[in-house]
Structure 1
């Protein structure tokens, strides 16, 4: 009988018509330890994307410690360009742009991580159960997923945010997460459906393991790389959606964010006044974080998928 390691770690079998031994059927050994790391450090997309995201993450964590100013503090020179006193200048009402930017970065990472976690957990629960159990349960879960999938997410978030008056990053992340899971659920269901027919899963069923145990111990570990890629995509999407809501003035107004910075810049005619230091940093921050995450995703896909690797 085929071993679990052979079934999971080896590439597709080449049909040669020669021999029937296990060595002929599975010519390549299981994935070696640190093999993924070997390809990861040589993947330019992954390295660049990770460097960009880590740079902004460090700025979000350490940046607030480098200034005594707070995002909503007034009393500084009005509309001053970047200088040694104010690294990113000041706003027309007299606020420090640097402090707003670093605190805004922190908010973006918090909302992105929380929303991705909520959407990922929902997507995994629905995708795993539907793909593994099949039958009526799968049909019901697929129907719910398809219904939520065709609903315009941004429009729903705008309406809900307008009526509920989102007051914190936690509530904003929860709203985004509750509307971002359907595509992840469908993708995970398809992968689970494929793995559910493998011999090692059938063996686990015959041994008397329950549904949750089979999913957690047999299926999920063999999808770990795919789940990680899904989380990255959910993270980037959540950052972008949160920035959109904040820019429209529908996010939390008591917490500084990159989208709120853009909203304030537009409201105070920063573009017309030539105050580029007010709206360019948050725009670059949003673009770089989301772009870096998507570039990372492409690079990781090449690392985890042997067919896409470039040695």
Structure 2
């Protein structure tokens, strides 16, 4: 299954882009310090709002700060929020949705009520209100807020899938043989939900990065943190679009777009492998292509 997953160009390209940004987030400070030799917070008074040049490859901001150094430093903040929010949201969705679909009965009623309660809540206004009251608490709190309010849709999906898997003959037979619920959930039900969980996690990464950028754009973020969202916010406050300082807001916006594209491509690849209909269609296309190639070579 892993070999089939990595064979598709969508998954390979998406994973390569995600791996690049993860490595950039991890080693970004070392790159700025030792390779570029630039502090992302330092002000170069001789290069105020300078366009890209050999000295500043992506130009500088209105305050003389190097845009490339800030983009590299911002990768850590944005990726941290995306991965932490996705981890928290996916974990809560699994802990709520899978037991609800497996155990049914009173457990399903209670967990389903909790899911429906969060599902009907206006998530975006709640995030804005909570983040506004906790303004200045940093990226940790933003990631936790996004994760805590963004799990209900995934939990509803996992509940339906767990309900379907737990009703299959092999699970019912193992229940009759006296297999413990813990083993059935972890070794029989969850492996059939890996495609859905992976898709939820990737969707959570996109949502976390977008939410952080949106909150920072609205001014509900830690002004001392460097992220792609705070870069776009600073560019908006200084009217970079109207003044033609495209090099200030294009790099962080392009990074956010690449993260979303990469996660979407990986999601498509996982869906093609986990969805039997798509997998069968993919195999038929490959078989037909090979047949046409063989016929063309013989001709």
Q: Alignment partner of 1:162: what SS?
A: helix
How far apart are the structure 1 equivalents of 2:274 and 2:181?
27
The answer (yes or no) to whether the contact 2:5–2:269 under 8 Å persists in 1 is: no
Determine if the alignment matches structure 1 residue 56 to structure 2 residue 56. Answer: no
Question: Which of 176, 180, 188 lines up with 1:206 in the alignment?
Answer: 176
Find out whether 1:271 has 2:241 as its counterpart: yes
In structure 2, which of residues 92, 96, 102 is the aligned counterpart of residue 126 of structure 1?
Answer: 96
Distance 2:113 2:17 in 1: 39
CA contact (8 A) 1:120 1:234 kept: yes
Where does structure 2 lack aligned partners over 5 or more consecutive residues?
Answer: 287-299
Query: CA–CA distance in 2 between the matches of 1:176 and 1:83?
Result: 38
**What is aligned with 1:290?**
260
CA contact (8 A) 1:116 1:177 kept: yes
Match runs of 1:143-182 below 5 Å: 143-182=113-152
> Is 1:75 matched up with 2:44?
yes
Q: Where does the alignment leave 5 or more consecutive residues of structure 1 unmatched?
A: 1-34
Q: CA deviation at 1:61?
A: 3.6
- Give the alignment of 1:215-294 within 5 angstroms: 215-294=185-264
Q: Could you say which residue in structure 1 is the equivalent of 2:292? A: none
| Bigger proportion of residues as helix | 2
Cα-to-partner distance string for 1:88-129 (whole Å, 9 max, x where unaligned): 111111111111101111211111111111011100010011
SS in structure 2 of the partner of residue 271 of structure 1? helix
Aligned residues of 1:36 and 1:304 also touching (Cα < 8 A): no
TM-superposed CA distance for 1:36, in Å, is 4.5
Judged with a 3 Å threshold, the aligned counterparts in structure 2 of structure 1 residues 96 and 228 are, in CA distance, closer, same or farther, namely: same
Please state how far the C-alpha of 1:39 moved relative to its aligned partner. 5.4
Shift of 1:157: 0.7
Local SS of the residue matching 1:254: coil
2-structure distance, mates of 1:39, 1:255: 37
Give the corresponding residue for 1:38. Answer: 4
Contact 1:166 1:172 in 2 (8 A): no
How far 1:146 moved relative to its partner? 1.4
TM-score normalized with structure 2 length: 0.86
Distance between the aligned counterparts of 2:74 and 2:19, measured in 1?
A: 16
Q: Deviations over 1:24-67 (max 9, x none)?
A: xxxxxxxxxxx5423542x3332333333333334334444132
